[in-house]
Structure formats: structure tokens, C-alpha cells
């Protein structure tokens, strides 16, 4: 039976080569199996047959049983229209066609019972333009369903005559040819435990639901199955790695680590930091490659955790590297780590695109002979010239900015791959983490270091600007500094540049020299000028930094205590949260002021309220996921990752948790899926692994 599903789609009766080509291009449907998995977007309830006398002028779609009693062509200003009088014994209405008149005129049967379906208009009586029509006899015989499915479509399909009705006909034909015998993919025990309906019944009722109840059961079964196989793949990938990919067992916790922990910690570690270090120590102690994702909000102290893990590698005689996506971030990590590690007398260097040739030579040499213990850098670390003596730990910051290819280059530099710690300050909602990083072990730093005061966030309208400016002057008088950020949608966006310049001029007028001094940073400036302005602000030579979002990542000015975000409605939630994280780095109370116009969409309103309500990046990420959907959150690079056919990561998070739980349970009992009761499961699993859409992409 399943071989039949491999049949190319053009062989299905009613498709043919031209339509087949169209289905391939527009909906990615190549064979029978793809068509079966084209699930409806929604359904129209066709359980009810209306009488003409009951019709309301409500614009809803109705179906009526009746006969055409006469038909005529009426001339109008442009062209003509075909009008038929339709009656069901309780009243009369008109059916109207503006196109395809010749064909309809020739094929329409007078005084024969039809079922008509469409939207009714009211003007001196009811009329239905371009109704769907079916002879009552045929209507009774068809794979009729109470709920009419509406399938995904494209403009091109509609233009070329592949309407929803045509897709329904194809689907009916497919079910006739296959006799609806679809292979069960889940084990009997699982079906019983979760009261899932069989695969056959699920597919039949997703396309031709007999009732709302059966439709709900079909949806649950198919969503569970889709998410279950995703989790099965991710978890088994994790298990395989733990068994197969050898790693260095770091069993010594030695002098560097202990000396730092006992004598040089700048502050007491939070419980979350201690827990995370313990999880990582445990992983690195195994002779298996660690692959761990470390999530922590802006300012939660990920850098110190990374350093302590590097010290473990060094104590075991290995080197460590930290790779960041931009030079600014790499430099910041370098400054932070050298400061922390200074008393330990370690050899730490930085390698970026702007490192001088002479310096590079020294770095390359020291890396190869092992005297360089920690290297921090950008993509420059991936160059072939960079060879390690023995790399034991690779820390990757903001990994979604690096491609898979790039990361694997680091691994190939060693015979035994290094342990990997991936860090991100972008809180990833649990649902997404379970799907996107389901094959990584995840650690979360979910508390901020003591002494940090939560940032106070307020939303103000443009009409309150004078009060806001007065508040800024008070803060500057206390010796604090201020960021004022303007949105930048695209570097070349004229309007944004104008907004920024107008803003800069009016701020310079409202905060005049010599009492105040204002810096400006934007995308059109030369990198050297940008750095010089940033430097002036960091050293406290200017009070106000007017900028576009270039400051979103990696600027650390503890004395800056106020962040004003102009046109805040034009930013996404995670961006607002990242920007807010630029202040609140010192011991003083910090503020974030979001300025907007009065007209706000519902989504913008939700974003402002969320920001004012909470400082918790994970809660913000959950709201963001609900507003934007999974594709957008991971950015364009990852948006193709989860092309789910029926499940939705936001709405179906409970099903996702259930699927993950059962996938873990199944693999614990039978890691290689070799038990007889798992035969169908294994077959489906292997088929899916051949389709390399998401799995090889992720880690």
C-alpha cells in the first residue's frame, strides 16, 4: 500500500502533467503521499440545508436544495450576465454568472434537483453569484462530509483553475484509489495509553470529518505524531552523540579553578550560576563530547560561568576558545575575561579581522605549541591557518549567528572534538528550545546577581515629552548618562535617518553646550568614528548618546542609567528587551522609557504592557512567540527550520511536552527501536531521517 503513496502526483486521475507541474511548484506536492499530507486550513460547516424563506442578509455561505426553472442572458453596460431562477418550493432566488456562461448554459439541467452552495447577496431579493452546483444524486453518493475542508492555495493555482473544489476532488480520488488504507506508524501500546485514533481514521477525518468531535480527535492524533517524530529524532541524536562521539574526560578540578573560586571571585555566585557550573562540570568529566546550551538574560553572569569552565579545561592541560559574532562583542569578552583572570597569570589573546599580521604570527605559533591557553575571537578563529595544540572547550556566543558549516570547522581542528558550550542572551521560549535545541542539553541562569536593582520601565506618549526631558536633566545632574535610541529598519531608510538627525538637532537644542554634551552613533558612520564616539560616552565625556540600534549588542557603560526608546512601537519585543538590558549595569536605579505616538495597534499595546509588567526575558520571549510565531523569532536564517504540517508550536505546546515525554520514554526502553512492536515506528523514523530538512540543520 505504501508503495502506492510514492506514485508521482500526475498519475492521479484528474491531475495529469500540467496540473502535476503546478502542484509541484506551488505546493511542493510531488507524489500521492504529499497530497495526503496537505491538511486543510479551516472547515465550512455543510451539515445544514437552508430554505430560501429562511435566508438572512448576513453574507454567510449557505447550501440549498432546489431546481433551476428558467435561464436567460441579460445585456449590461459591459458585456452580459447569465441569470437563472432557482426555487426550492418556499421561495425563489437568482443564480448569476459573469464568466463561463457558454459552458454553464450548455450543461445546466432545468427542473433537476441540485444542491447549490455559496454566499447570498440581497438586492430586491436574494441572489447567489457563481454558486458551486452539484446534482443531488451525485451529492448523495460522494465522500460527503459535514465539514467542508478549505485547503491552502496560491494565487497562481486559483488563476489556473485549481480551485478548492478541484483539490477536494483530487483528495476524494486519492482516497478511492488507496481505499484509505494507510500504514499505522505508532505502536499499539502508545495508541491505547493516549487514546489516539488509528492513522486511517485520523487521515480520513482530517479531510472528510464526519463531526466536530472526530475532527478534533484526528487533529490531536496527527499533531502528536508530527511532534513525536521530531522529538524522537532530536533525543536519539543526543543519545547517539553521548555514546559515539568521544570527548576529553576532564577529571581534575585543579589549581586555576580552585584559586579563582576561593580567592578571586569578584562577587558571590548566584545559586543559578552554581547549579549551571555543576551541570557543565559533570558533562566535562565524561569521556563524551558535551553539547550544552547556556541561556541567561542580559547581565545574568554568563561570562564568569564560561571562564570557570575554561579553567577546568586548562587545569586538565587543554586549551579553550571563545567565539563571538562581532568584533565589538569579542573585544568586550576579551576585556572582561582578562580582567577576571588577571591574578591567575594566564596567557589570553584575541584574534579578529583587524589583528595585525605580526601579532597573528605569534598567536598562530603559541596556539600550536600550546602556550596560549585561551583565545577569544570572531570568525577569524575558523581560518585554516589557526591550528590548536589541543582544544578542549569551545564556547560559542549567540550561536544562531553562526552557520553549521562554520561551527564544524572548529571541531575538525582536533582528532577528538572539544566540549561545546553555546551561550545565548536571547531567551528562547521552552517550546522553541525543545524543538530547535532538543538535541542539546540546556542550562538556564534564571536569576540576576545580587545588588542589581530591577530596571523601572514606563510607557510615555509623545505629548509627555517635556516631562521626560525634565526627568533626564535630573538624572544627568546626579552624574548619570542617558541613551536615546531611534529605530532603524534598514540602513538606507531615508525616513529613519531623517528622524535620527531631527531628533539629534532637537536634543542638542534642549540640552545645550556647555552644560550638556551629546554623542551620536549610526550605521552610516565610519567604524573608526563610531568607536571614537562610543569611547567618549564610555569614558563619561558625553552625557547623552543618541543612536540607532547599533548599540543593541555589547556596549557596557555601568554609569548609563536611562534608556529612552523613540517610536518604541516600531521595535519587536526581544529588541526592546535587549535595548533595556544596556542600562541597569551599575548599582544605581535604572530606567527605561518607551516613547510612542497615541495610535497603537493591539500588538504594539501588548508589547508595551509586557515590557512595563516584567523584566523576565523568558516571559517576554513567550509573549513574543505568541505574537510573531516561531519562524520570525529565529530570524530568517532559521525560519525554514520547522516546516510543520499540522502542529503549531505556540498553540500546541502541551502536545509538544507530551510528545517529548513519550519520545524519551520510548528511547529509554528501546534505544535502537529494535523491539518487534516498534517495527512500524522504526520504519517511519528511518524514512523521515532521509528527508534532511531540519535535523542536520540544527546542531
Residue-level pLDDT at 691: 64
**How confident is the prediction for the chain on average, in pLDDT?**
87
Of the two residues 173 and 492, the one the predictor is more confident about is: 173
pLDDT, mean of residues 35-62: 86
Backbone angles phi, psi at 72, to 5 degrees: -150, 160
Of the two residues 492 and 327, the one the predictor is more confident about is: 327
Catalogue all structural domains in the chain, each as residue range(s) with its CATH number. 47-144 (2.40.50.140), 255-284+300-424 (3.40.50.300), 456-614 (3.40.50.300)
Kindly state the cell numbers that stand for 306. Answer: 564560561
Angstrom distance (rounded) from CA 205 to CA 467 = 61
DSSP code of 583?
A: S
Residue-level pLDDT at 698: 35
Strands (E), 259-385: 291-296, 319-323, 348-351, 374-377
Angstrom distance (rounded) from CA 335 to CA 355 = 15
> Cα 114 to chain center, whole Å?
48
DSSP states along 498-536:
HHHHHHHHHHHHHS-TTT--EEEE-TTS-HHHHHHHHHH
Query: Pairing relation of β-strands 126-129 and 121-122?
Result: antiparallel
Containing H/E element for 44? Answer: strand 42-45
pLDDT at 432 over 90: no
Residue-level pLDDT at 407: 61
pLDDT at 489 over 70: no
Lowest pLDDT segment from 123-127, 171-175, 315-319, 423-427? 423-427
Residue-level pLDDT at 350: 96
The CA-to-CA distance between both ends of the chain, in Å, stands at 35
Burial of 43 (0-12, 13-18, 19+ CB in 10 A): middle
Containing H/E element for 461? Answer: strand 456-461
Kindly state the cell numbers that stand for 342. Answer: 588577571
pLDDT, mean of residues 494-512: 83
pLDDT digits (tens, 9 = 90+) for 619-637: 888 888 888 766 554 443 3
Region of residue 485 (left: phi > 0; alpha: psi -120 to 50; beta: else)? beta
Residue matched to cell numbers 586538565:
316
Containing H/E element for 610? Answer: helix 602-613
Query: Cis (ω within 30 of 0) for the bond into 346?
Result: no
Backbone angles phi, psi at 409, to 5 degrees: -60, -35
pLDDT digits (tens, 9 = 90+) for 155-211: 899 889 999 989 999 999 999 998 878 889 999 999 999 999 999 999 999 999 888
pLDDT digits (tens, 9 = 90+) for 4-46: 889 999 999 999 999 999 999 999 999 999 999 999 988 887 7
Angstrom distance (rounded) from CA 508 to CA 517 = 8
pLDDT at 448 over 90: no
Closest CA to 655 of 229, 234, 236, 220: 220
Backbone angles phi, psi at 62, to 5 degrees: -135, 160
Contact (CB, 8 A) for 303 and 333: yes
pTM (two decimals): 0.68
Amino acid at each position: 500500500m505504501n508503495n502506492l503513496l510514492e506514485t508521482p502526483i500526475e498519475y492521479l486521475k484528474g491531475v495529469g502533467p500540467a496540473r502535476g507541474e503546478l502542484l509541484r511548484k506551488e505546493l511542493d506536492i510531488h507524489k500521492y503521499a504529499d497530497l495526503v499530507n496537505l491538511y486543510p486550513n479551516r472547515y465550512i460547516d455543510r451539515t445544514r440545508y437552508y430554505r430560501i424563506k429562511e435566508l438572512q442578509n448576513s453574507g454567510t455561505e449557505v447550501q440549498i436544495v432546489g431546481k433551476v426553472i428558467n435561464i436567460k442572458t441579460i445585456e449590461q453596460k459591459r458585456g452580459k450576465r447569465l441569470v437563472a431562477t432557482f426555487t426550492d418550493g418556499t421561495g425563489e432566488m437568482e443564480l448569476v454568472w459573469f464568466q463561463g456562461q457558454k459552458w454553464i448554459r450548455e450543461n445546466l439541467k432545468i427542473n433537476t434537483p441540485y444542491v447549490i452552495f455559496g454566499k447570498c447577496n440581497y438586492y430586491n431579493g436574494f441572489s447567489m453569484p457563481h454558486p458551486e452546483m452539484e446534482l443531488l444524486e451525485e451529492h448523495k453518493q460522494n465522500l460527503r462530509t459535514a465539514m467542508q475542508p478549505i485547503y491552502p492555495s496560491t494565487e497562481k493555482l486559483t488563476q489556473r483553475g485549481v480551485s478548492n473544489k478541484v483539490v477536494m476532488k483530487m483528495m476524494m480520488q486519492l482516497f478511492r484509489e488507496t481505499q484509505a488504507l494507510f500504514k499505522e506508524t505508532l505502536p499499539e501500546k502508545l495508541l491505547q495509553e493516549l487514546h489516539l485514533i488509528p492513522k486511517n481514521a485520523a487521515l480520513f477525518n482530517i479531510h472528510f470529518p464526519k463531526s466536530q468531535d472526530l475532527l478534533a480527535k484526528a487533529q490531536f492524533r496527527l499533531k502528536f505524531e508530527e511532534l513525536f517524530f521530531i522529538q524522537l529524532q532530536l533525543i536519539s541524536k543526543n543519545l547517539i552523540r553521548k555514546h559515539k562521539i568521544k570527548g576529553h574526560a576532564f577529571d581534575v578540578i585543579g589549581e586555576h579553578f580552585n584559586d579563582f573560586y576561593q580567592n578571586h571571585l569578584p562577587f558571590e555566585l548566584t545559586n543559578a550560576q552554581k547549579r549551571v557550573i555543576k551541570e557543565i562540570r559533570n558533562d566535562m568529566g565524561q569521556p563524551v563530547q558535551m553539547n550544552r546550551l547556556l541561556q541567561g538574560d542580559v547581565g545574568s553572569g554568563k561570562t564568569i560561568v564560561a571562564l570557570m569552565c575554561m579553567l577546568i579545561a586548562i587545569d586538565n592541560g587543554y586549551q579553550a576558545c571563545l567565539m563571538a559574532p562581532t568584533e565589538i562583542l569579542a573585544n568586550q569578552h576579551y576585556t572582561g575575561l582578562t580582567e577576571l583572570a588577571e591574578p591567575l597569570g594566564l596567557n589570553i589573546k584575541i584574534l579578529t579581522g583587524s589583528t595585525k599580521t605580526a601579532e597573528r604570527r605569534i598567536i598562530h605559533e603559541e596556539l600550536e605549541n600550546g602556550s596560549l591557553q585561551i583565545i577569544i575571537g570572531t570568525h577569524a578563529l575558523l581560518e585554516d591557518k589557526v591550528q590548536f595544540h589541543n582544544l578542549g572547550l569551545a564556547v560559542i556566543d549567540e550561536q544562531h549567528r553562526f552557520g553549521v558549516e562554520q561551527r564544524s570547522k572548529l571541531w575538525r581542528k582536533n582528532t577528538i572534538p572539544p566540549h561545546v558550550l553555546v551561550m545565548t542572551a536571547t531567551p528562547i521560549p521552552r517550546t522553541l528550545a525543545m524543538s530547535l535545541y532538543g538535541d542539546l542539553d540546556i542550562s538556564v541562569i534564571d536569576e540576576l546577581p545580587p545588588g542589581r536593582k530591577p530596571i523601572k520601565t514606563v510607557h510615555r506618549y509623545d505629548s509627555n515629552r517635556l516631562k521626560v526631558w525634565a526627568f533626564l536633566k535630573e538624572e544627568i545632574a546626579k552624574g548619570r548618562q542617558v541613551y536615546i535610541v531611534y529605530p532603524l529598519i534598514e540602513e538606507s531608510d531615508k525616513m529613519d535617518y531623517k528622524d535620527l538627525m531631527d531628533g539629534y538637532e532637537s536634543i542638542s537644542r534642549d540640552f545645550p553646550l556647555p552644560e550638556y554634551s551629546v554623542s551620536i552613533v549610526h550605521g552610516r558612520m565610519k567604524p573608526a568614528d563610531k568607536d571614537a564616539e562610543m569611547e567618549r560616552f564610555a569614558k563619561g565625556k558625553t552625557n547623552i548618546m543618541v543612536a540607532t540600534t547599533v548599540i543593541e549588542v555589547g556596549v557596557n557603560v555601568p554609569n548609563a542609567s536611562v534608556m529612552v526608546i523613540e517610536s518604541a512601537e516600531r521595535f519587536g519585543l526581544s529588541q526592546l528587551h535587549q535595548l533595556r538590558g544596556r542600562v541597569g549595569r551599575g548599582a544605581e536605579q535604572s530606567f527605561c522609557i518607551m516613547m510612542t505616538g497615541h495610535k497603537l495597534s493591539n500588538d504594539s499595546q501588548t508589547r508595551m504592557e509586557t515590557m512595563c509588567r516584567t523584566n523576565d526575558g523568558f516571559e517576554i520571549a513567550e509573549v513574543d512567540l505568541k505574537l510573531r510565531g516561531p519562524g520570525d523569532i529565529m530570524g530568517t536564517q532559521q525560519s525554514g527550520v520547522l516546516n510543520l504540517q499540522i502542529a503549531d508550536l505556540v498553540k500546541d505546546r502541551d502536545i509538544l511536552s507530551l510528545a517529548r515525554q513519550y519520545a524519551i520514554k520510548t528511547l529509554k526502553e528501546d534505544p535502537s527501536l529494535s523491539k518487534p512492536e516498534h517495527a512500524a515506528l522504526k520504519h517511519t523514523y528511518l524514512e523521515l531521517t532521509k528527508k534532511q530538512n531540519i535535523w542536520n540543520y540544527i546542531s
